[in-house]
Amino acid sequence: MISPLMFLRSLSRYADAYGEDVLFIAFMWFLLPFLQAFLILREVLPVFILCFAACCYMLALLEIPLLVAFYRHRCANGAATRSRLLAVLAFIRAPFWIAGAMSVPFIPHWISLPLILPWFFANWFFMGLFLGQLEDELPPLQMSPRRLIATRAFLFLHMCAMTTVGYTIIHKIGSVSDRQFFSDLGEAIAFLALLLLIYIPSRLYEFLGGLPQKAEKKKFGSFLLRQTLVFVLIALETGTSNPAVLKTALRIESASTDLTSLDLKNSDLDEMELVGEFTNLEHLSLASNGLTEVPPAILKLPKLVSLDLSNNAITKLPPEIGQMKILEYLNVSDNRLQALPVTLVRRVKQLTAKRNPLDELDVSVERNFHSRNDWTR
């Protein structure tokens, strides 16, 4: 029979080994969708964007001394610290954070670069550190439990910040739906490779903290298996729908009048009609939502200039879509369209209809595809 003391010791041991992984997965599944929603709704939440950017920069600069201290603590406890794998991680994460910092809206590049360049060069320093070239210059350091917890907490927060930036970049590019994943293997592999390039740099601290001891080389396989499992769970979450964007926008009082651009890739299908409440929308994306028809509320948006309906299951476009007053750009790629309404010829300047079984086109529509470079199929 297991005594309460033995149970608590076992729980403490497993929490120390897997606790941060569990917290990270919980962050990805529950908190990150709302952070992503706030970043997407930057038009109506500029203060949040500025605060998020400031926190990211602060954590990036704090990571330099904290990661060095954590490395020295690992050395003092006989843990594995030399690793070509960690050196590779440090190498590929250096340019990633600069790209992420420059993609944060409302922050001029002349401010972003000076703040992030020290972190960029620090990763080259880490690369040499993990290869053992600077081991003699950094003596081991035994941190107190309280200081170790604080160090790990800040490094964990930085890992979450990097993941949030990377996740937002993926959202801009567009995720891969279940249908695409199995029908287009090349695109699925490219998506997983991009996700891996974001996952691996953000987990440098976790990889360093979880590396087996020097005398426990046999545990290296289980260590990689655990990291792979976390990656698979993150990949599954990245491809799922994110209703938080629309729900967050509906809660913001000023959004109905001030919002001019709304990106609803992978959103909640049950609430698509509510998009009609944002009457000043000029740019709207409803890509990757499994739509079988164009939501009628979209056709009533008076100021809509561009509309992205790609990667859905739409079989027919209503004639009214070509009667929208100022609609100029329409993307209906990766749907199930066999025909296009003639009304599109009158207004739409740029039409993208790739990977559709278009075999019942009107003569005037067919002529546009042949005569206009901005009409592609």
Matching residue, tokens 């250096």? 94
The per-residue pLDDT of the chain, averaged, comes to 78
What value does the mean pLDDT take over residues 284-300? Answer: 88
pLDDT at residue 82, as a whole number: 77
Burial status of residue 28 (CB atoms within 10 A of its CB: 0-12, 13-18, 19 or more):
buried
Tell me, what's the pLDDT at 73? 86
Q: At what angle do helices 84-102 and 145-173 cross, to 10 degrees?
A: 60
Of 8, 377, 21, the C-alpha closest to 227 is: 21
pLDDT at residue 376 tops 90: no
Strand partners, 283: 261, 306
Give 304's pLDDT tier (boundaries 50, 70, 90): very high
Most confident of 9-18, 45-54, 72-81, 199-208: 45-54
From the number of C-beta atoms within 10 Å of its C-beta (0-12, 13-18, 19+), residue 184 rates as middle
Q: Which domains does the chain have, with CATH numbers?
A: 15-238 (no CATH), 282-376 (3.80.10.10)
Model pLDDT, residue 121: 82
* Spatial separation of the C-alpha atoms in residues 19 and 10, rounded to whole Å: 13
By CB atoms closer than 10 A (0-12, 13-18, 19+), residue 204 is buried
pLDDT of residue 214: 58
Ranked by mean pLDDT, which of 8-22, 261-275, 278-292 comes out on top? 278-292
Digit-coded pLDDT (tens) for 152-198: 889 889 888 888 887 777 776 665 555 555 566 676 777 777 777 77
Closest C-alpha among 141, 157, 196 to residue 20: 157
Give 269's contacts (C-beta < 8 A, 6+ positions apart).
241, 289, 290, 291
Over residues 345-353, mean pLDDT: 82
* Confidence class for position 306, pLDDT limits 50, 70, 90: very high
Q: Give the SS3 label for residue 3.
A: coil
Distances (CA, A) of 266 to 29, 37, 55, 222, 286: 14, 12, 27, 34, 8
Q: Which of 331, 303, 302, 301 is nearest to 317 (CA)?
A: 331
Residues 349, 355: contact at Cβ < 8 Å?
Answer: no
Q: Which residues pair with 376 in a beta bridge?
A: 352
Q: What is the pLDDT of residue 174?
A: 61
Whether pLDDT at 104 is above 60: no
Q: Which of 344, 312, 311, 314 is nearest to 329 (CA)?
A: 344
Which pLDDT belongs to residue 11?
46
**pLDDT value at position 30?**
82
Give me the residue label for tokens 């979880």: 210
Rounded CA separation 235/170 (Å):
11
Give residue 305's pLDDT: 93
What is the b/e burial string over 327-349, where b = at least 16 CB atoms within 10 angstroms of the residue's CB?
bebbbbbbbebebbbebbbeebe
Copy the structure tokens of residue 314. 């739409």
Task: Please state which of the ranges 93-102, 311-320, 357-366 shows the lowest mean pLDDT.
Answer: 93-102
* Structure-block tokens of residue 83: 């690793």
pLDDT grade for 284, boundaries at 50, 70 and 90: very high
| DSSP structure class, residue 131 | T
- Give pLDDT tens digits for 204-239: 887 787 776 655 666 777 777 777 777 777 777 665
What SS3 state is found at 219?
helix
Model's pTM, two decimal places? 0.79
245-254 pLDDT, tens per residue? 888 888 887 8
Q: Considering only CA atoms, which of 19, 20, 37 is closest in space to residue 164? A: 37
Q: How far apart are CA 363 and CA 365, in angstroms?
A: 5
